[in-house]
Amino acid sequence: MSLRHTVFTLPLLFSSSLIAFAVSADSIPLPLMPWPQQVEQPATGGRLALTPQLQLHIVGDLPEGADARWRERIARQTGWTLLPDTSSAVPTITVRIANKVDPLPQLESDESYRLVVDDTGATLSAPTRFGALRGMETLLQLIQNDGGGTFIPFVTINDRPRFPWRGVLIDSVRHFIPIETLKRQIDGIAAARMNVFHWHLTDDQGWRFASSHYPQLQEKASDGLFYTQQQMRDVVRYAADRGVRVVPELDIPGHASALAVAMPELIAAPGSYQMERGWGVFKPLLDPSNEEVYRVIDTLVGEMAAIFPDSWLHIGGDEVDAQQWNDSPRIQQFMREKGLADSHALQAWFNQRVEKILEKHQRRMVGWDEIWHPDLPKSILIQSWQGQDALGAVAKQDYRGILSTGFYLDQPQFASYHYRNEVWPLALNGAGHIGADERAQSWQFTLPRLKGSPVKGSFTLVEGKAGWRGFIDFAGKSRRLVQQVTWLSPDEVTFQVDSWMGPLQPVVTLQQNRLAGYFLVGNVRYPVTGARLTATPAGIEPAMPDAKQLQANLKGGEAALWGENVSADVLDIRLWPRAFVVAERLWSAQNVTDEDNMYQRLAAVDRWSAVSVGLQQHTQALTGMMRLANRTDVVPLQIFAQALEPAHYYTRQHLKFQAGHYTLAEPLNRLADLLPAESMAVRALTRQMDALIGDRANQQAAQAIRQQLTLWQNNVPQVTPLIEANYQLQALRPVAEQVAALSKMGVALVNRWESGRHLTAQEVRTMRGQLDAAAQTQDELVIALVRPLEKLLRAVEAIKP
Enzyme catalytic residues: 319
**DSSP secondary structure letter of residue 131:** H
SS3 for 796?
helix
Q: What is the 3-state secondary structure (H, E, C) of 584-598?
A: HHHHCCCCCCCHHHH
- Classify residue 578 by burial, with Cβ atoms within 10 Å: 0-12, 13-18, 19+: buried
Contact 382, 371 (CB under 8 A): yes
Task: List beta partners, residue 783.
Answer: 644
Q: Using CA atoms, how far apart are residues 28 and 769, in angstroms rounded to an integer?
A: 40
Element (H, E) at 572: helix 571-575
Q: Using CA atoms, how far apart are residues 259 and 55, in angstroms rounded to an integer?
A: 53
For residue 678, is it left (φ>0), alpha (ψ between -120 and 50) or beta? beta
How far, in Å, are 78, 596, 649 from residue 660 at the CA level? 50, 40, 19
**DSSP secondary structure letter of residue 613:** I
Contacts of 488 (CB under 8 A, 6+ apart): 494, 507, 794
Q: Using CA atoms, how far apart are residues 743 and 712, in angstroms rounded to an integer?
A: 7
Q: Using CA atoms, how far apart are residues 432 and 600, in angstroms rounded to an integer?
A: 35
Q: Using CA atoms, how far apart are residues 29 and 152, in angstroms rounded to an integer?
A: 11
Task: List beta partners, residue 521.
Answer: 504, 524
Q: Using CA atoms, how far apart are residues 307 and 292, in angstroms rounded to an integer?
A: 23
**DSSP secondary structure letter of residue 759:** P
**DSSP secondary structure letter of residue 677:** S
> Which amino acid, one-letter code, is at 432?
G
Of the candidates 349, 355, 350, the residue with the CA atom closest to the CA atom of residue 378: 355
Contact 341, 276 (CB under 8 A): no
Element (H, E) at 157: strand 155-159
- Classify residue 117 by burial, with Cβ atoms within 10 Å: 0-12, 13-18, 19+: buried
CA-based radius of gyration for the chain: 28
Q: Using CA atoms, how far apart are residues 414 and 419, in angstroms rounded to an integer?
A: 9
CA-based torsion, 272, 277, 283, 287: positive or negative: positive
Alpha helix positions (H), 642-698: 651-658, 680-694
Q: Residue 4, Cβ neighbours under 10 Å: how many? A: 7
SS3 for 44?
coil
Q: Using CA atoms, how far apart are residues 347 and 321, in angstroms rounded to an integer?
A: 11
Of the candidates 368, 307, 251, 315, the residue with the CA atom closest to the CA atom of residue 104: 307
- Concatenated DSSP letters of 442-498: EEEEEE--SSSSPEEEEEEEEEETTEEEEEEEETTS--EE-EEEEEEETTEEEEEEE
**Alpha-carbon torsion, ordered 696, 702, 705, 706, to 10 deg:** 130
Per DSSP bridges, beta strands 165-171 and 554-561 are parallel
At 734, give phi and psi (nearest 5°): -65, -30
Q: Using CA atoms, how far apart are residues 186 and 581, in angstroms rounded to an integer?
A: 16
Q: Using CA atoms, how far apart are residues 441 and 463, in angstroms rounded to an integer?
A: 9
Of the candidates 436, 433, 455, 430, the residue with the CA atom closest to the CA atom of residue 444: 455
